[in-house]
Structure 1
Amino acid sequence: MSGETPNPGKQSASNKALAAHLLMRSPGPMINDSYEPENLKMDEIRFYRANEKPYGAFSNLYRRPVEFEGELFPTAEHAYQAGKARKPEVRRWLMAAPTPALLAMAAHGLYVWDIAPNWSKIKFERMKGVLRAKFSQHEDLRELLLSTGSARLVESATVNNAVNRLWGEVNGVGQNKLGQLLMEVRDELRAELDSTDAQTVKRGPQRVVSKSKKSRPSASKCHATVEATEA
C-alpha cells in the first residue's frame, strides 16, 4: 500500500472520467432516428374516475345522455342497470338514485330475487350495446375512443372486490371486461369508418349534369350571388 497522500481533486476528476467512459460504452435503449414525441404511442391506457381527463369519459359514470332501447338515460350506467331489475318498481327505485355512483352501488346490492333471472347471461351483451350507443351518438366520444389506436384499455379500480375485478383490474389483477368491450366497440367503429371511406373513394367525385341549358344560371347571376354571400 502506497504512503502517498490521496488528492481529493484528482480522485474527483478520475471518477468523472470513468463515469463518462462507462456511459459511452453503455448500449442504452435503441433510438429511432425518426422518433418525435408527438408520435409516441401508448400501449396501455388506464381509467377509472369519471372526472379524470381525458379518459374519464370511458367510465360508465361519465355524465353523457345515452339513448338505448327507445329510452334516454343520463349515463351509460343508468342504461346498463335499467336491465338488471326484475320488477318495474325496483327499476324505478334504481333510476331515482341521486348520482351514477349511488345507482351502481344500489344495483350491486340487489337481492337475488330482485334481479332479472337471465341477467348473468345477457349482462355483457347489454353492456356492449350500451357502449355502442354511447360512442356512436356522441362524435367527440367516438373520436376520443378511436384516438387510442390499438392501446389496451383498462379500468383500473382502487377497491379490491369481485365487481371491480370483473369489470376492471385491481393492482393488475382482474378480467377487465369493460376494457375488453370498449376495445371491441373501438374496432367495430373503426371498421365502419374504414368501410365508409372505401365506399367514398370507390364512388369518386360525383359529376352533376344539367338536364337543360335553361337551368344553368348566367355568369352575371353567379357573380352577384358570390358578392351577396361575401357581403
Structure 2
Amino acid sequence: MADEICFYRANEKPYGPFSNLFKRDILFEGECFPTAEHAYQAGKPRRDAVKSWLMAAPSPALLSMAAHGLYSWDVRSDWSKIKFSRMRAVLWAKFTQHTDLEKLLVSTGDEILVEPPPHEHPGQSALGTCRWQREKYVGDTADGSKE
C-alpha cells in the first residue's frame, strides 16, 4: 500500500503548495485568480455580485469560510454536480501552469495526498472520516492520474 503525504497549511514545507490556499496565480476560464481556492469558489455563486464579494475577501482562508457559509439561494443549483469536476480542472490548471509545482507533485510518486484539517483525523467521527475521504480523493486527482 502506498504511503500518505499529509498537508494542510499553505506555508508548510515541503507540501504546503498542494493547499488550495497557496498563493500562486492561476489562469482559469479566462480569469487570473490569486489561488486555486479563488478559482474554485468563483464558480459557486449564482450571481456576479456574490462572486465579486467572495473574490474581495482579504485572504484565501476567509474566502473559503465565506464561500462555505453562502445561503443556498446564493449557490448555483448544479453546484453539487459540478464541484468535483471543477476542482479537478482548477488543480490541472494550477499544476500545469507552474513547472515547480508540477515537479513537486510528480515527486510524490505513488504516495496518496491527504488534506485533513489538523482537528479531524480518520475514524474520529463519521463527518471527519467523510471529509477526510473527500479531501483525499480531491487531493489525489489533479488530472485524474497524478502523472
TM > 0.5: yes
User: Which digits, 9 at most, give the CA deviation of each residue in 1:194-219, with x for residues without a partner?
Assistant: xxxxxxxxxxxxxxxxxxxxxxxxxx
The alignment's C-alpha RMSD in Å is 1.5
Greater RCO (CA < 8 Å, at least 6 residues apart):
2
**What pairs with 1:69-218 in structure 2 (closer than 5 Å)?**
69-159=29-119, 170-172=120-122, 173-174=129-130, 175-185=132-142, 188=145, 190=147
Distance 2:106 2:134 in 1: 18
User: Which digits, 9 at most, give the CA deviation of each residue in 1:119-141, with x for residues without a partner?
Assistant: 01000000000000000000000
Give aligned pairs, total. Answer: 139
Displacement of 1:181 after TM fit? 3.0
Distance 1:44 1:180 in 2: 12
Contact 2:115 2:139 in 1 (8 A): no
Distance 1:189 1:46 in 2: 16
Contact 2:116 2:135 in 1 (8 A): no
Structure with larger Rg? 1
Any gaps of 5 or more consecutive residues in structure 1?
Answer: 1-41, 160-169, 191-231
Q: TM-score, normalised by structure 2?
A: 0.88
Q: TM-score, normalised by structure 1?
A: 0.57
User: Which digits, 9 at most, give the CA deviation of each residue in 1:68-110, with x for residues without a partner?
Assistant: 0111000000000000011110000000000000000000000
